[in-house]
Amino acid sequence: MRGISIGMDVADIDTPALCLDIEAVEANIKRMADYARDRSVRLRPHAKTHKSPALAHMQLEAGAVGITCAKLGEAEVMAAAGIKDILIANQIIGAPKIARLVNLAAYTRVMVAVDDAANVADLDAAAGVKGVRLRILIEVDIGMNRCGAAPGQPVLDLAREIVASPGLRFEGVMGYEGHTIFLEDVNERMERTEAAMQLLTDSAELLRREGIPVEIVSAGGTGTYFITGAHPGITELQVGSYITMDSQYGGLERIDFAYGLTLRASVISTRGDDLAITDAGLKAVTRDFGLPLAIDPPGWQLTALAEEHGFLSRTDGPRLRPGDKVTIVPNHGCTTINLHDNYCVIRRGVLEAVWPVAARGRTY
């Protein structure tokens, strides 16, 4: 990165800069790994949050069995960085991507989600040509109404297709409770997550009763990990956001991970004492769930984002002048991280390293 050198004070880093408080990140990694170990549930963190092989390796060192990716392109980046066990928790459709998938499977352990019989046939054919055996999970729609086969009989029908396909190895089922992760009422969150998990584990049981072994039953989001991870029959957690956290998850009851991700911005203009404009707008921080949280200096609130400008309003903070720095917690870490080339890795106020967001933009 231009204008920065290892060992410099965080206050001197030019802005906008995406920063990792590495001690908070380390604590979050350990906390989730300890939870999984105590519960005897395997951990396969979702790398779509951080998109960084360095962070993925830290999660593996702490005990994760592998990682999860959203996209084939992310998986390719992670595999190239030496990560050996990867779930792509999405459907890989169409000849060009299926060709890449079987190539990837030829040199690393990769597993992919399916919810459609025609896709199963395409994957089987491509695996046969390449001479690999592709590992498959069936994605089950457990209430989010996104991808996934309907629970019960449709899952069994699809599992039979997979088991009959010589190029494929059926590993199990996955689901994602995206409709419950942000529920503020913790009792409602627990009730609805339990119901979603029951759909998933009942489907797994149905397959077992029909003689189809189910090794993996994977689910979990940061807002629900303690519910999903404790549900009988769930074998793996595919949680993502906990590693960096964001202000959307920050206020949620029972979610006690630390803020590890901040955006540092500079004031570039002021209007009187109560309005300050920063150099970090929508191209530096996203607002898909809501506005980010200004935390330093205290007494200022982010009220709007334009393309290249952030608008701060004073509540009772100190007066800001052009050149002053502000610290913002992104409202959604996953989409904000994807806007940046690098992380500034900060330990106790000092720049320790610069890590590339290596899978940035890998939406394909």
Ligand X SMILES: Cc1ncc(COP(=O)(O)O)c(C=O)c1O
Amino acid in position 227: I
Contacting residue, 176, 226, 300, 343, with ligand X by CB under 6 A = 176
Binding of ligand X by 181 (CB under 6 A): yes
User: Closest distance between ligand X and the C-beta of residue 144, in Å?
Assistant: 9
User: Closest distance between ligand X and the C-beta of residue 139, in Å?
Assistant: 8
Q: Helical H runs in the chain?
A: 22-39, 53-61, 72-80, 95-105, 117-130, 153-163, 186-209, 225-228, 247-250, 333-337
**CA gap 333, 329 in Å, rounded:** 9
Closer Cβ to ligand X, 124 or 246, answer by number: 246
Measuring CA to CA, how many Å separate 357 from each of 77, 221, 328, 343?
Answer: 10, 22, 19, 7
User: Closest distance between ligand X and the C-beta of residue 241, in Å?
Assistant: 3
Of 49-78, binders to ligand X (CB under 6 A) are: 49
**CA gap 91, 109 in Å, rounded:** 17
Q: How big is the CA angle at 185 (ends 201 and 289), to the nearest 5 degrees? A: 90
User: Closest distance between ligand X and the C-beta of residue 89, in Å?
Assistant: 4
Of 146-175, binders to ligand X (CB under 6 A) are: none
Of 246-305, binders to ligand X (CB under 6 A) are: none
Select from 347, 336, 343 the least CA-distant residue to 358: 343
Give how many residues touch ligand X by CB under 6 A.
13
Q: How big is the CA angle at 163 (ends 144 and 91), to the nearest 5 degrees? A: 35
Stretch that binds ligand X, among 55-63, 97-105, 195-203, 234-242 (CB under 6 A): 234-242
Using DSSP's 3-state secondary structure scheme, residue 259 falls into coil
Contacting residue, 72, 132, 155, 239, with ligand X by CB under 6 A = 239
Contacting residue, 241, 248, 266, 278, with ligand X by CB under 6 A = 241
Closer Cβ to ligand X, 46 or 314, answer by number: 46
Stretch that binds ligand X, among 26-34, 76-84, 221-229, 253-261 (CB under 6 A): 221-229
Binding of ligand X by 226 (CB under 6 A): no
Q: What is the torsional sign of CA 244, 246, 249, 250?
A: positive
Using DSSP's 3-state secondary structure scheme, residue 301 falls into strand
For 233, half-sphere exposure in the C-beta direction (CA atoms, 13 angstrom radius) is 18
User: Closest distance between ligand X and the C-beta of residue 252, in Å?
Assistant: 10
Cβ–Cβ under 8 Å, residues 195 and 152: no
Binding of ligand X by 203 (CB under 6 A): no
Stretch that binds ligand X, among 204-212, 239-247, 282-290, 350-358 (CB under 6 A): 239-247
Using DSSP's 3-state secondary structure scheme, residue 90 falls into strand
Contacts with ligand X by CB under 6 A lie at: 46, 49, 89, 176, 181, 221-223, 238-242
